[in-house]
Amino acid sequence: MNQLQKEPAFDYSTMGMHVVSTAGARNLSEEVMANGSMRVLPASFYADTTPAERGLLGMRHGIYGFLTLELTDWLQARIAGRKAIEIGAGHGALAAALAIPATDNMMQDDPRVKAHYEAIGQPTVPYGDNVQRLDAKDALVYHKPQVVIASWVTHLYKKSRHAAGGNMFGVNEEHLISRCEEYIFIGNEQVHKGKSIWELPHEIIYPDWLYSRAVNGSRNFIAVWKGSNK
């Protein structure tokens, strides 16, 4: 039995923890990663992988959503030449592919967060060289974007909505929506079900070319909220 077969793949981004056997799972790192960053690959590549393989890849490299040519093409068409930024950019690969500014509050550099991730056996995100250390609120002030893109960003924890989860470093998405033309969020039904902004009008699609590390059996999605600053 090789090392890959000994390691369980965990999805720590859900409210619970899902464990999937990785017996026989391929190591996708060489095909997906280049110089510490994700390649943009056709969706057909991920269609030929298993949830366990994607979960293991995501856990090893601090990746939640994977880049596909179809995703970047869709986002470019939706941005349509407007000024856009990515918040919670992490590795910075999506923003680089779209040629837009990448920002992140870099919460996983916080010693408390690092300690939590170490305790659950998961590496923290290695932030890309193109990522500016700005939280979402400051990124809006600095860049004044028309479009804000976020992939797998955690919402702000509110005591009044304890069951909805979130965290103290999360994004106040209502504030964000009020300060841009469009907020585009890429995520997973189960992982991101607790967002309070679901109560606001939005569009949602479930593309078959969207892949993530989630192993909970629910759909990945792209949702768009029209902002107040039009």
pLDDT at res. 215: 92
Burial of 116 (0-12, 13-18, 19+ CB in 10 A): middle
Share the mean pLDDT of the chain: 87
Q: Give the whole-number percent of the chain exceeding pLDDT 70.
A: 89
- Please provide residue 84's backbone torsions phi and psi, each rounded to the nearest 5 degrees: -135, 155
Sequence-ordered list of residues with C-beta below 8 angstroms from that of 179, at least 6 positions apart, any chain:
140, 227, 228, 229
Assess contact for 213 and 59: CB atoms under 8 A.
yes
In this prediction the pTM is 0.86
* 16 has a pLDDT exceeding 90: no
Phi-psi domain of 166 (left: phi exceeds 0; alpha: psi -120 through 50; beta: other): left
- For range 141-168, the mean pLDDT: 90
73-131 pLDDT tens trace: 999 999 999 999 999 999 999 999 999 999 999 988 888 888 888 887 777 888 999 99
Averaged pLDDT, 144-166: 90
pLDDT at 189 over 50: yes
Rg (CA), the chain: 17
The string of DSSP letters for the chain reads --HHHHPPEEETTSSS-EEE--TT----HHHHEETTEE--B-HHHHHTS-HHHHHHHHHHHT-SB--BHHHHHHHHHHHTT--EEEES-TT-HHHHHHT--EEE--GGGSHHHHHHHHHTT-PPP---TTEEE--HHHHHHHH--SEEEEESPPBBP-GGGGGG--BTT-B-HHHHHTTSSEEEEEEETTTTTT-GGGGS--EEE--TT--BS--SSPPEEEEEEE-S--
At 146, is the pLDDT very low, low, confident or very high (cuts 50, 70, 90)? very high
Confidence at 15, pLDDT banded by 50, 70, 90? very low
